[in-house]
Amino acid sequence: MTPVPAALTPSTPPPSPPPSPPAPHAPRHVPALDGWRGLAIVCLLLGHFFPVPGINLGLVGVHLFFVLSGLLMTRILFLQKAPLPLFYRRRIARIFPSVYFYLPVVTAVYLACGRPVDLFELATAASFTNNYLTNGTPWTMPFGHIWSLSVEEHAYVLLSIVAIASRATLAGGIRAVGIATAAIVLVACVYATVFAGRWTGLWDNSEVAAFGIFASGLLLLLGARGRPGPSSRVLPAMLVPGLMLLGLAAHWWSLPRVVHLLAGCGAFALAVNALDRAPSFLRSVLEWPPLRQLGTWSFSLYLWQQPFYQLVRHEGLHPAPGLGLS
């Protein structure tokens, strides 16, 4: 009788295929990033309702949001290489419904209460252009905070265009985002030199205000390439909280806006890209459930706090109920 080859006997199961390697740059939830977002909204709310003398905490909060957005959007566009239609659908679904609910509701309340309504402010907020098209006078309506959403929307469009042209290779993405970041730095230095102290509204323009978004994205790409960037060799763990403190100090009131922008956002961008290298105590703080929950609510809080902030700032409402109503 001819023996059956061992490889074909029932007692020998076929070899199982090797496990598939994880997709490179696959999305994973990082709890500390929720806490970072929560820290950003806490800073912004404190800056609006209980300002700390000497530190512009409102701007600190915005810049913390910007560097986080830069990290996340660059990861989606350049590392995960999300299709652009999907990218835009998700951005629109996250931002537009809330904004286009907020604007008419506030306008209707103003009309019902007999308060003045400024259609120019409404139009520039609705078109995400109010970081450019402002009239230089105090806001009639609580739409001034849309400036930072305008910067983010403009940056997302530019990042997506850069991604189309360059994301075929990581080196191409690094080069393109690096050029965009360098251009922003150059424009910021020109503004600081030519318009020093004459028109602070320039610093809300997207061509400079988006620095934190692009700098954070560039650092992410450099880290993915293995070039000098946030790593255990270059960035010791205790340097992460140091960078966060440096970013905070760079927002001292008397410092020029170019310092707030380049030094402040630059330090925050390094820190958020290196959170996985941060000491355990800092990660524990950022992973604290209440702070993470605030991060989950941050967009709604950011959007709806503005009417109450305006009542506190211009009409004498006490900050405590103003913050509570937010």
**215-245 per-position pLDDT tens digit:** 999 999 999 876 544 444 455 778 999 999 9
HSE-CB of 206 using CA atoms within 13 angstroms: 21
Has residue 146 been placed in a domain? no
Task: Assess if residue 226 is contained within a domain.
Answer: yes
pLDDT at 23 over 90: no
Does the pLDDT at position 90 exceed 80? yes
Q: Calculate mean pLDDT across residues 151-176.
A: 92
Closest CA to 66 of 36, 86, 94, 98: 36
In a domain, 299, yes or no: yes
Confidence of residue 11 (pLDDT cuts 50, 70, 90): very low
Residue 252 has pLDDT above 50, yes or no: yes
Give the pLDDT of residue 232.
46
184 assigned to some structural domain: yes
- Region 258-272: mean pLDDT is 97
Q: List the single range of 71-75, 279-283, 320-324 with lowest mean pLDDT.
A: 320-324
Percent pLDDT > 90 in the chain is 72
Residue 269 lies in a domain: yes
Q: Which residues contact 193 (CB under 8 A, 6 or more apart)?
A: none
pLDDT greater than 50 at residue 3: no
Lowest-confidence range among 18-32, 41-55, 88-102, 291-305? 18-32
Picking from 256, 303, 254, 310, the residue whose alpha carbon sits closest to that of residue 147 is 303
Q: Is residue 106 part of a domain?
A: no
At residue 1, does pLDDT exceed 50? no
Report yes or no on 4 lying in a domain. Answer: no
pTM of the complete model: 0.88
In this structure, is residue 110 part of a structural domain? Answer: no
- Domain range for residue 218? 29-94+151-309
Confidence of residue 322 (pLDDT cuts 50, 70, 90): confident
Q: What does the pLDDT read at residue 230? A: 47
pLDDT the model gives residue 201: 81
- Rounded to whole angstroms, what are the CA distances from 189 to 9, 129, 147? 76, 23, 21
- Region at 17 (left for phi over 0; alpha for psi -120 to 50; beta for the rest): beta
Domains identified in the chain, total number: 1
Query: What does pLDDT average to over the chain?
Result: 88
Residues, the chain, total? 326
Residue 37 makes CB contacts below 8 A (sequence gap 6+) with 64, 65, 68, 294, 295, 296, 298
